[in-house]
């Protein structure tokens, strides 16, 4: 793993994602049924909080419910509802990475400490999100977290084929895009890989993508143009109560099979207008999947100079209509197809007004 001369790791990757939730048991059941995740560890801190670690392949989510009013999860849920509170990052040396990040301007939240061969520390990210830095000593299993007890092995309710976290979409308040991108470039050593301005009717938004050298961490950071009519980004920021993770994209190697399986498990996806598929054959020569198969499931397709990508959004189940998820398959493509961004935006707008 390479490191910047002053100690900033250049190929950060996602270790796990912690969501603060109002109802832990209901949330765990939902992710198990809808996404084919299984519980692999639990943590019970009487009078404080309960947590469940759940996932499959390289996807690891930690769901935490507060048991005390002064626990951070209680305050988070009051302000935001269920949502992403921590994007934890694997680093080769927590002590060095923490010191370097703080030296370059990160706000420290937790000093380095070691428990059972796992070293952790934490710094603040955008909004009230935190980044826990994680280092596992040689010989330590890649899944356990300090304070967690392994759960009995169980079979998934469905084989969804989900493999890893592909990226996070982050909505920031107007005027914060550049400073947020600069934080990840200068403090955590990510590089800017994509810039886009999207105009849909009377609405507009600006976005930039930052990514670690290995591609193990990718953030699409979006801000609304408040000189235009309010749209879905404004809606998220208002209902979430500030900047936050709008959606998590899970990668698969077969979008059609994954989406079909998830739909059978009760997951609802955003619909795509029929004309999109009537024009698709003229716009692209598909390298895999058929237009009828994509149309039946509402999957979008686009391409960059490296290949094609297939993607679709889930309908949000959040009471505030904020957090949702994405399924994405990359067949060579390494960026985000510009042709899909407008279609995805319009699909979310239709859902928001539906």
| Residues in binding site | 167, 247, 326
Nearest alpha-carbon partner for 168 in 251, 97, 102: 251
C-beta of residue 134 within 8 angstroms of C-beta of residue 215: no
Instruction: Please give the structure tokens belonging to residue 19.
Output: 């969501």
Chain-centre distance of CA 133, in angstroms?
17
Binding site for Fe cation: what residues are annotated? 167, 247, 326
């Amino acid at each position: 793993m390479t490191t910047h001369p002053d100690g900033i790791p250049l190929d950060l990757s996602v270790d796990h994602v912690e969501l603060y939730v109002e109802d832990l048991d209901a949330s765990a059941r939902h992710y198990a049924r809808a996404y084919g995740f299984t519980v692999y560890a639990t943590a019970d801190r009487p009078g404080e909080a309960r947590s469940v670690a759940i996932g499959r392949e390289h996807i690891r989510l930690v769901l935490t419910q507060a048991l005390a009013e002064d626990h951070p999860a209680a305050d988070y849920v009051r302000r935001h509802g269920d949502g992403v509170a921590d994007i934890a990052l694997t680093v080769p040396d927590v002590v060095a990475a923490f010191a370097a990040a703080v030296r370059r301007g990160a706000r420290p939240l937790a000093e380095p400490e070691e428990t059972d061969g796992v070293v952790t520390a934490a710094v603040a990210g955008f909004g009230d999100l935190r980044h826990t830095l994680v280092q596992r000593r040689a010989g330590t299993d890649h899944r356990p977290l300090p304070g967690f007890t392994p759960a009995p092995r169980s079979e998934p309710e469905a084989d969804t084929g989900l493999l890893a976290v592909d990226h996070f979409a982050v909505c920031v308040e107007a005027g914060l895009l550049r400073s947020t991108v600069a934080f990840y470039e200068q403090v955590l050593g990510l590089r800017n890989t994509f810039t886009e301005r999207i105009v849909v009717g009377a609405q507009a938004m600006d976005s930039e993508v930052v990514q670690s050298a290995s591609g193990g961490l990718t953030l699409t950071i979006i801000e609304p143009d408040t000189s235009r009519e309010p749209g879905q980004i404004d809606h998220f920021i208002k209902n979430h109560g500030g900047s936050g993770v709008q959606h998590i994209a899970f990668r698969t190697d077969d979008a059609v099979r994954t989406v079909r399986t998830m739909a059978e498990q009760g997951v609802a996806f955003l619909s795509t207008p029929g004309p999109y598929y009537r024009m698709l054959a003229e716009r692209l020569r598909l390298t895999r999947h058929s237009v009828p198969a994509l149309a039946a499931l509402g999957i979008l397709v686009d391409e960059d100079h490296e290949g094609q990508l297939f993607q679709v959004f889930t309908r949000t189940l959040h009471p505030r209509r904020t957090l949702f998820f994405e399924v994405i398959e990359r067949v060579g493509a390494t960026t985000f197809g510009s042709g899909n961004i407008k279609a995805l935006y319009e699909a979310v707008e239709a859902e928001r007004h539906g």
